[in-house]
Amino acid sequence: MSEYQPLVTNSSANILRDIIPTSTVESSYLFTQFQIEQPLHNSQVFFIFLVLVIAVGIPIQLLVAFVILRTRQLNNPRNAFWLGNITCHFVTLLMGAYEYWTVVNPKINRSDIVCRIYSLLVGYPYTILLVGLLLATADRWFAISDPIKHRKYVTVSGVAGCLIISWILVLFILTSPYWSGRFEILLCAVNQDVMKWIMASHFVMVSFIIVAQVKVYIRTRQYLRFKAHRPAADLHQQSPPDYYLSSNSSSNTRPDEYFVHLPDKTICRLELEASVTLFCGVASLCVCALPLAFVFLTLIVCKIEVSSLQCDVTTVLILIPYARELLLLHSVVSPLLYVVRSREFSKALRRTLPRCFFVHQQRRCASPVELPKLCSTYVDIGCYK
């Protein structure tokens, strides 16, 4: 094996031949009979990048999943969608590692079943991630448009069932060309016709997500800027749940800290902040996917053969693997934005981790009076079973 590893398979070469003009393909040294050699791509660069992404991304994802599952205050539909998205990010990173060790740099003895699993599931993780983001966007719109019905009909179990069913349907649709007999599963390669449809579906879903997220974000910002005060009579007649208000947090001289009181409805601020947090995650997706979209747009322009443009196809082809791997950054940036941006999660994190791991809390157990209270608190937050 040469010093530099080939990073594009034979099926990828066929896809690029459909995009790039024939005259350019025949004269370019990049194309061989079976693969595209890209001598500027050192496999060690991709290995280091993949290790860094996995080393940073997976601990963040596991931390988010642990806090959501062990904190009762986070057991709500908006965080259930986030847990589903975290699961998709986790599978995406695992698929990136699986691809590297089976296709890009195959150091292990690959069997036919290992190669066929890769060929069957190569586009699955990111597809279910986009479907989850689309469902989460619809949930955010429902939550801010009709909060009463959303609170009544949308439950954690319903969200979990919806996500699982959508994942099964996506797997059924993506694998249908193979089990229906239309195409044969290739060995450690991607069928170009199937990948074209997958890429087209990704483009359509991302377009829908961006348009919907912009609309949700605009309405959310309008609601968050609403300066209505809570009526004084309502302060004495109705009291929010204990986890929303403390004993000294309500006041009729300033806007409600936990709710936005509109003329026709009242919305929890946590729902609005969750919409903004989801918008930040979608924005990070657009930023990470922008280089790859720009590269393929450049190849399409080269196919048009505009006389005024001088296309350097070699340089564009060299950028494809780098732009594609940048998508893995979204699986790190999006969970990190959730940890930093969500006040609800930050409070749950501060309540959970210090009481589970900090030694100075043991000093409170010195008093026999404090011991039962402290131990019951540990049980409540899920540190002990």
Residue corresponding to tokens 């009979």: 33
Tokens matching residue 367: 């008093």
| CATH code for the domain defined by 10-232+250-341 | 1.20.1070.10
Please give the pLDDT value at position 376.
Answer: 46
Cβ neighbour number for residue 250 with a 10 Å cutoff:
17
Question: What is the Cα–Cα distance from 125 to 93, expressed in whole angstroms?
Answer: 9
Tokens matching residue 382: 């899920």
Which residues touch 115 (CB under 8 Å, ≥6 apart)?
102, 186, 187, 188
Please give the pLDDT value at position 211.
Answer: 87
CB 143 within 8 A of CB 217: no
Going residue by residue through the chain, which has 385 residues, state the pLDDT in tens, using 9 for 90 and above. Answer: 433 334 444 444 444 444 444 444 443 434 333 333 333 344 677 788 889 999 999 999 999 999 999 888 788 888 899 999 999 999 999 998 888 888 776 666 667 788 888 888 888 998 999 999 999 989 988 888 888 888 889 999 999 999 999 999 999 999 998 888 888 888 777 777 888 788 888 888 888 888 888 888 888 777 667 654 444 444 444 444 444 444 344 444 445 555 555 555 556 666 667 777 777 878 888 888 778 777 777 777 776 765 556 677 777 777 777 777 788 888 898 899 888 888 888 888 888 776 655 544 454 444 444 434 444 444 444 443 3
Tokens matching residue 260: 């936005």
Cβ neighbour number for residue 157 with a 10 Å cutoff:
9
Which residues touch 211 (CB under 8 Å, ≥6 apart)?
none
Please name the helix (run of DSSP H) or strand (run of DSSP E) that holds residue 88, with its range, or none.
helix 77-99
Question: What is the Cα–Cα distance from 176 to 260, expressed in whole angstroms?
Answer: 47
Global pTM?
0.71
CB 92 within 8 A of CB 57: no
Start-to-end CA distance of the chain, whole Å, equals 53
Please give the pLDDT value at position 308.
Answer: 59
Indicate the domain borders of the chain: 10-232+250-341
Please give the pLDDT value at position 117.
Answer: 87
Please give the pLDDT value at position 257.
Answer: 55
Please give the pLDDT value at position 167.
Answer: 96
Please give the pLDDT value at position 290.
Answer: 78
Return the sign of the alpha-carbon dihedral for residues 60, 63, 69, 71: negative
**Residue type for 23, please?**
S
